[in-house]
Amino acid sequence: MSTDKNVINISNIRIACKDCSLFQLCLPIGVGEADLELLDRIIKHRRPFRRGEHLFRIGDPFQAIYAVRAGSLKTYAMTEDGHEQVIGFHLPGELVGLDAINGECHPCAAKALETTSVCEIPFDRLEELADHMPTLQRQLLRILSKEILQDHNLLMLLGKKSADERLAAFLVSLSARFKRRGFSSREFYLSMSRNDIGNYLGLAVETVSRLFTRFQEEGLVTVQRKHILLRDIDELSLRAGVSGPMASSKSVNGV
Amino acid sequence: MSTDKNVINISNIRIACKDCSLFQLCLPIGVGEADLELLDRIIKHRRPFRRGEHLFRIGDPFQAIYAVRAGSLKTYAMTEDGHEQVIGFHLPGELVGLDAINGECHPCAAKALETTSVCEIPFDRLEELADHMPTLQRQLLRILSKEILQDHNLLMLLGKKSADERLAAFLVSLSARFKRRGFSSREFYLSMSRNDIGNYLGLAVETVSRLFTRFQEEGLVTVQRKHILLRDIDELSLRAGVSGPMASSKSVNGV
DNA sequence: AGATTTCATTGATTGTCGTCAACAAATCTG
DNA sequence: CAGATTTGTTGACGACAATCAATGAAATCT
């Protein structure tokens, strides 16, 4: 917070992929050193984005995909009537911009939630590279497929789950993602606003706020502003799955 | 309906990709005849599936993706508590099973909604083929990306839209997809049940039923069982986008 | 064909969550 | 640091859609 008063020239402190702790998260390829070197060479490191800045906006020409290096960001689209719809939150090691591959320009925007640095991967160069690297090609397909899978999970959440199930699922999911990155799975910082959370989960801000309060009253979490402490992850996981009005009354569908 | 009493040997009446009217829909690649021939060779035509039969179930080992040839099917996943969640409906020319590429087995099931024939494309063979065909590789990425984009659209629908907006959007979307395939965009047959529609749209069956009735009363559609006639597509499109309680009252967000 | 089951429609009622509104806290700005 | 703006919390109220329940219509089965 206090060390980055003066922006220094990033290009000088560029870090190679092979030395990046996130490397196996963003492109977990099984390639040799030589291939990795090639991959590394096309990747651009850009100056960090400040909170609120856009990596790209809706309609921007698609040129590159991005890997989050540090910080976090959100992607969002616009409904026809000008409403923002948060599509996802992205933590270090995650890729952004995959939904633009098909088209000419970005169908959604990416905005930094805090000071965030990313690796820019020009897509045409990546494709060229992949032409001669079957492993990379296959990896790309897997990454996109995984993204589809994640979206399907979110679809289930929005289609079936009640408000508390949604928030519980959200917290549990974040917890797992932080853990995977070596951060605490019990305690973390929510870089997104309540508004963004509600938007993402298909809930009103007020509902999110109330739920945080209720979860806290029930001893599930301790919430202090954007700081979250999960006191009972098991119970939260339970709520994320089975709960709501049906769980108590009777067998839901005979299973 | 009356001609397929005896199942005949499908392998004899196999149709080449290059002669398939759907070819440019399912794999719109810009490849030469020779490449197309290679692609065609790995594709298997299987006997048609009857209504209710599964192409694959949740947890089945992933071996192939499928292109719908005729008929239609639904894909669905299971929530933790055993509830079915319809992920999508698939018309001729659309690919199924893309969310399994990342893993070992299918995360969702695919079930025929009517008598349906598909092309089975063994994925390992497809990858081998793509290793030597950059265009195919790139095409695959684009197809997956498109799928992601579609999921995002559905996310917006489930996250923000009211019940009538959802059904309107559903009908308009189906209409466009039928049109693309050379069928009527005004008049079509809903192969899926009301239950499936509701499940897909995150609504109760009863709500779907009531909405159909209401849309009919308002002269937007004529519904007769599963047969749908769109009387006012423009108005439906309008409802699919802007409507609900906010549209009338005041500017939603200053835009 | 009749019986059984599945599917679709309609009505009555309840509950969850969104909306409106006011307030508090924090962050931004000059 | 004070004022302004954004962001988060809490309460009251109402609406939309889910649930419960009953009936009707098709489709499937024997």
Confidence of residue A29 (pLDDT cuts 50, 70, 90): low
Phi, psi of B48 (to 5 degrees): -60, 145
Using a 10 angstrom Cβ sphere, with 0-12 exposed, 13-18 middle and 19 or more buried, the burial of residue A155 is buried
Inform me whether the C-beta atom of residue A132 falls under 8 Å from chain B C-beta atoms: no
Residue whose structure tokens are 């839901």: A252
Interface test with A, best of B78, B80, B89, B153 (most A CBs within 10 A): B80
Confidence of residue B241 (pLDDT cuts 50, 70, 90): confident
Task: Mention every residue, 6+ apart, whose C-beta is less than 8 A from residue A168.
Answer: A215, A220, A236, A237, A239, A240, A243
Q: What is the pLDDT of residues B126-145, one digit of tens each?
A: 999 999 888 889 999 999 99
CB of B226 nearer than 7 A to strand C: yes
Q: Given this model, what pLDDT does residue A37 score?
A: 84
Buried b (16+ CB within 10 A) or exposed e, B147-177: bbbbbbebbbbbbbbebbbbbbbbbbbbbeb
Task: Mention every residue, 6+ apart, whose C-beta is less than 8 A from residue A41.
Answer: none
Inform me whether the C-beta atom of residue A192 falls under 8 Å from chain B C-beta atoms: no
Nucleotide with smallest C1' distance to residue B224 CA: C8
CB of B245 nearer than 7 A to strand D: yes
CB of A206 nearer than 7 A to strand C: yes
Amino acid at A218: E
Q: Quick one: average pLDDT of B51-55?
A: 94
Q: What is the pLDDT of residues B86-101, one digit of tens each?
A: 999 999 999 999 999 9
pTM listed for this prediction: 0.89
Q: What's the Å distance between residue A252 CA and nucleotide C3 C1'?
A: 29
pLDDT at B243 over 60: no
Inform me whether the C-beta atom of residue A39 falls under 8 Å from chain B C-beta atoms: no
Q: Given this model, what pLDDT does residue A46 score?
A: 85
* Closest among A94, A103, A107 to A57, alpha carbons compared: A107
- pLDDT > 90 in chain A, percent: 71
DSSP B50: P
Task: Mention every residue, 6+ apart, whose C-beta is less than 8 A from residue A49.
Answer: A55, A71, A73, A112, A115, A116, A117, A118
Output the DSSP codes for A235-254: HHHHHHHS-HHHHHHS-SS-
CA separation for the pair A77, A79 (Å, rounded): 7
Q: Quick one: average pLDDT of A208-215?
A: 97
Q: Given this model, what pLDDT does residue B16 score?
A: 77
Give A-chain residues touching B99 at CB under 8 angstroms: 145, 148-149, 152
B141: nearest CA partner in chain A: A141
Q: What's the Å distance between residue A254 CA and nucleotide D27 C1'?
A: 24
Strand partners, B54: B111
From the list B127, B145, B252, which residue is nearest A138 (CB)?
Answer: B127
Task: Mention every residue, 6+ apart, whose C-beta is less than 8 A from residue B222.
Answer: B216, B228, B229, B231
CB of B209 nearer than 7 A to strand D: no
pLDDT at A119 over 60: yes
* Closest among B83, B78, B43, B71 to B57, alpha carbons compared: B78
Instruction: Say yes or no for a CB contact (<8 Å) between A142 and B102.
Output: yes
> Is residue B26 a contact partner of residue B65, using CB atoms and an 8 Å limit?
no
Nucleotide with smallest C1' distance to residue A205 CA: D8
Amino acid at B230: L
* Closest among A118, A120, A170, A177 to A146, alpha carbons compared: A177
CB of A52 nearer than 7 A to strand D: no
CA separation for the pair B7, B47 (Å, rounded): 8
Inform me whether the C-beta atom of residue B82 falls under 8 Å from chain A C-beta atoms: yes
Q: Given this model, what pLDDT does residue A40 score?
A: 86
Instruction: Say yes or no for a CB contact (<8 Å) between B242 and A87.
Output: no
CA separation for the pair B189, B227 (Å, rounded): 5
Confidence of residue A242 (pLDDT cuts 50, 70, 90): low
Instruction: Say yes or no for a CB contact (<8 Å) between B131 and A134.
Output: yes
Confidence of residue B157 (pLDDT cuts 50, 70, 90): very high
* Protein-covered nucleotides on strand C (Cβ within 7 A): 7-12, 15-21, 26-28
Q: Given this model, what pLDDT does residue B63 score?
A: 96
Q: Which residue has the higher pLDDT, A72 or B3?
A: A72
From the list B85, B107, B143, which residue is nearest A160 (CB)?
Answer: B85
- Mean pLDDT over the full length of chain A: 87
Instruction: Say yes or no for a CB contact (<8 Å) between B160 and A253.
Output: no
Measured in angstroms, the CA of A112 and the nearest CA of chain B are apart by: 20
CB neighbourhood size of A33 (10 A): 7
Q: What is the pLDDT of residues A143-199, one digit of tens each?
A: 999 999 999 999 999 999 999 999 999 999 999 999 999 999 999 999 999 999 999
Q: What is the pLDDT of residues B198-216, one digit of tens each?
A: 999 999 999 999 999 999 9
> Is residue A232 a contact partner of residue A167, using CB atoms and an 8 Å limit?
no
Give B-chain residues touching A147 at CB under 8 angstroms: 148
Task: Mention every residue, 6+ apart, whose C-beta is less than 8 A from residue A247.
Answer: B81
pLDDT at A56 over 80: yes
- pLDDT > 90 in chain B, percent: 71
CA separation for the pair B219, B231 (Å, rounded): 7
List domains and CATH numbers for chain B: 17-155 (2.60.120.10), 162-247 (1.10.10.10)
